[in-house]
Amino acid sequence: MAPDDELRVVAEAWLADDPDQATRDELSRLIAGLPGTATELRDRFAGPLTFGTAGLRGRLRAGPNGMNLAVVTRAAGGLVTWLAGQGAEGPLVIGYDARHGSRAFAEQTARVATGAGREALIMPGTLPTPALAYAVRALDAVAGVMVTASHNPPQDNGYKVYLGRELGGPAGDGAQIVPPADAGIEAAIRAVGPIADIALGSPGTVIDDKTIEGYARSAAGVLAPDGPRDLAVAYTPMHGVGGSTLLAAFAAAGFPAPAVVAAQAEPDPEFPTVAFPNPEEPGAMDLLLELAVARGADLAIANDPDADRCAVAIPTPDGGWRALRGDELGALLGDHLIRRGVPGTYATTIVSSQLLGRLCAARGVPYAETLTGFKWIVRAAEELAYGYEEALGYCVAPSLVRDKDGITAALLVSELAAGLKTEGRTLADRLDELAAEFGVHATDQLSVRVDDLAEIGAAMSRARQAPPVALLGEPASVNDDTVNNVLTFRTASARAVIRPSGTEPKLKAYLEVVEPVGEGGLAAARTRATEGLLGLRGEVAAALGV
């Protein structure tokens, strides 16, 4: 059989099993367009979306290599089968954001769950990912599903799974899945037969608003009850679903209502005012900073579209604004919680700055370092006090949400800023204090996007075969973690951690230079650190051959 004929047979078999008329029509057009559409059609059937530790994520399109109702139905079927196989009791809680297809995917998941005899609880509308993670714990659910693609572009969607206490254990109660659960669910999905054979039940039960109101109240409880609240905040939910929840949490905490970027206040799956709905991307916070200037704000805060990340910008002495790096905010929040005496382990990842570890050592506080991802951070210790990763993710209240949470992080940084304001100081002043004590920890990323994933493997091989013997003029040691595919170069004053991205076709190198504050003062140390980062970037790029 000719390749195009084989492709037609495979596509028509999928078409016959697809329950969604819209994607059936899309696939029918591609089949009818053969052979001219062979490249596009072949990409749709290059392989199924893999259900990994981040669940599913991909483009909204027909076929097994896309996010669509057929793929979601099979994923839900595999999930409920796996849950039943574990002998686990309790309801499945399902949340969704405002992206294209999210509500339909959530409702279909509920029908698959009830069709299998399991209670399905649906969140009452489009809500942040941390609200779903909270609900898993608050409702003693066996598991949770969140339909979201977080800060991916508009054409994407995704499907994240959380486990309750029975299957996740104390440290994984309400946390994202980790191995071997991901492999077990993946195997169960692959074993699902025809979609027509999957029983669909009732649409489930919509949770009342009390659960979400409970989240907002509990989020406010993260703060010291009698602390200062005089703070002018500019805020954007970036066309996502965090706005109403953050405003409710700020009101419950006693803060003045933040000024909200009007053009980005309501959920919009097209994200029309940003090129890429990620606060880390250049230009994404421009409207927020314009509002901060116009309102004379003390602080500017952005959530990503599902509000599990938090970005912060602060005024500069020249009248401008600058966004804090994720590591800067991570150190500030960790330091603040330590100063408040919050007990437990403080954790971050191998690619984040070394500053938190040095801060914990100096304060006599337990510290842990994990692989990248909040699924690992929250399992660093059962008695976790705080965890963060450099990609703007912060878990400041693990007993409330065992995941990154952009709402509670926004509250905590506002508490810190308000307290400093009463002393005539700012977040920048606190960063200066930390730098004076521990040295300037300057961080940056070298990120290489590829079209062919083989390029990532080739670059890693080049660096392994000929690692640098020196970086920035200092002898370099090499640690090669082949199990997790992480390569680390380290000198007395610099570090580069290199790994493939787990969610995008990128190779990433996380760079850090540490400069003590000597006789030249803080400004000179920062200049040296910036120059060091520039040099380190070039040397690491050369080692990778990129």
The catalytic residues are: 150
Return all residues near 399 (Cβ < 8 A) that are at least 6 apart. none
Return all residues near 314 (Cβ < 8 A) that are at least 6 apart. 299, 300, 321, 322, 324, 426, 427, 428
> How many residues are present in the chain?
546
Tokens of 6: 């084989």
| Under 8 Å between Cβ of 283 and 271 | no
Give the Å distances, CA to CA, from 171 to 177, 332, 334, 436.
12, 24, 19, 35
Furthest C-alpha separation in the chain: 78
Alpha helices in 191-270 (DSSP H): 209-220, 243-253
Tokens of 514: 């540490």
Omega before 35 within 30 of 0, i.e. cis: yes
Q: At what angle do helices 406-422 and 209-220 cross, to 10 degrees?
A: 30
Residue 50: Cβ within 10 Å count: 14
DSSP annotation of 196: G
CA distance 60 to 65: 9
Q: Coil, strand or helix: which one is 3?
A: helix
Q: What is the DSSP string of 163-181?
A: E-HHHHTTTTTTEE--TTH
Q: Render the burial of 32-41: b for 16+ CB within 10 Å, e for the rest.
A: eeeeebeeeb
